[in-house]
Amino acid sequence: MEKESMERERMEKEGMEIEKMEKLEREKIILTGDRPTGRLHVGHYAGSLRQRVALQDSGEYQKIFIMIADAQALTDNIENPEKVRQNIIEVALDYISCGLDPEKSTLLIQSQISELCELTFYYMDLVTVARLQRNPTVKSEIQMRNFEASIPVGFFTYPISQAADITAFKATTVPVGDDQLPMIEQTREIVHKFNTVYEPVLVEPEALLSGNEASKRLPGIDGKAKMSKSLGNCIYLADTADEVRAKIMSMYTDPLHLQVSDPGHLEGNTVFTYLDAFCRQEHFGRYLPDYADLDELKAHYQRGGLGDVKVKKFLINIMQEILEPIRNRRKEWEKDIPAIYEILRKGSDEARRMAAGTLAEVKSAMRINYFEDTDLIRTQSKKYEV
């Protein structure tokens, strides 16, 4: 009798396993995120936000998790907790204003998912110090921040915590900039190691890169390689129309293009880089009907006879068209900040349930699920039966 019920239990379990595997095969899950260290700017929009919205609206993904990575932000902002705290709402407002829809995408705050710490702790056993030291992203960030020997352990190991972020949600797809590719590679290694050493419960994620070169590496308005708050060269999604206009009018172009009749250069010309990232065919019809397309505009600029101001005005029109609806949505949501926190709370709750499920599987695979395993007590008792 008992044997029969045990057999039934075993078969039920097997059935559940198959069901679970089928589900994994079916489901495409996205996880990605940002460190909340400032408002988001048009570089974020070109490089990731607009792609996320398109992925969300494509209907191809069963689940989409967008993480505000506050715990990761703290790894190099230890003395700046208030900055991280203040920017949670800014990033969330920017997300929603860009079209991330809390009904379709789960917005969550990393630190509220304590399961991620547990996963990180166990994954640490699967990674060597040498491997972390070889991670190119970590390497260059250590240089950038002058960390050298004084690097906090939490910062040094953040690739492991990022692997926890990704695997906790069984993400198949991680849309990121190419600076993050080493993180995905490290995650895949951890997954592979875990699945071989223990049981195949984790999913190997794929990185998803976005857009053309210009979108991936949008320079600041001063032409410097990167937009950064400290350089004061960003166009923020929350900037007013006047701010956007003034910033574009002051944009770095071609220092050799002194007179309209001079031939102009495109390389390193910020205005044209922005056009590469944002200009679409229909913009010509609306704002610059004298030209058929961007190639024609570029050719005229290179030939000489096309002034910077005309090109800048064209870019202003395009950017306002893109930014105005974002700005308007932001204004609306700014009137209901409690609703944003509620969205984040709900999203974090849902994320936590998902992460808890993965953690339970991980612990079972690692043989540390003592109280869930009824067989354990039975077999241990048998050992001492006379």
Geometric angle at alpha carbon 70, from 76 and 60, rounded to 5°: 125
Q: How far is the CB of 148 from ligand TRP (least distance, A)?
A: 20
Tokens encoding 179 = 């600076």
Does residue 176 bind ligand TRP (CB under 6 A)? yes
Number of residues that make up the chain: 386
Query: Residues 267, 272, 278, 280: is their CA dihedral positive or negative?
Result: negative
| Kind and range of the H or E run holding 191 | helix 181-197
Nearer to ligand TRP, 138 or 362 (CB): 138
Does residue 315 bind ligand TRP (CB under 6 A)? no
Does residue 30 bind ligand TRP (CB under 6 A)? no
Does residue 215 bind ligand TRP (CB under 6 A)? no
Tell me how far apart the alpha carbons of residues 323 and 320 are, in angstroms, rounded to a whole number. Answer: 5
Backbone φ and ψ for 240, nearest 5 degrees, come out as -75, 165
Instruction: Please report which residue ranges of 109-157 form alpha helices under DSSP H.
Output: 115-123, 129-134, 136-144, 153-156
Tokens encoding 382 = 């048998």
Q: Which stretch binds ligand TRP (CB under 6 A): 15-23, 147-155, 159-167, 373-381?
A: 159-167
Tokens encoding 133 = 């030291």
For residues 33 to 52, the per-residue mask of contacts with ligand TRP, x marking binding by CB under 6 A and - elsewhere, is xxx-----------------
For residues 71 to 100, the per-residue mask of contacts with ligand TRP, x marking binding by CB under 6 A and - elsewhere, is -x----------------------------
Q: How far is the CB of 42 from ligand TRP (least distance, A)?
A: 16
Which single residue brings its beta carbon nearest to ligand TRP? Answer: 69
Q: Which of 107, 166, 168, 203 binds ligand TRP (CB under 6 A)?
A: 166
Which residues form the interface with ligand TRP (CB under 6 A)?
Answer: 31-35, 67, 69, 72, 162, 165-166, 174, 176, 180
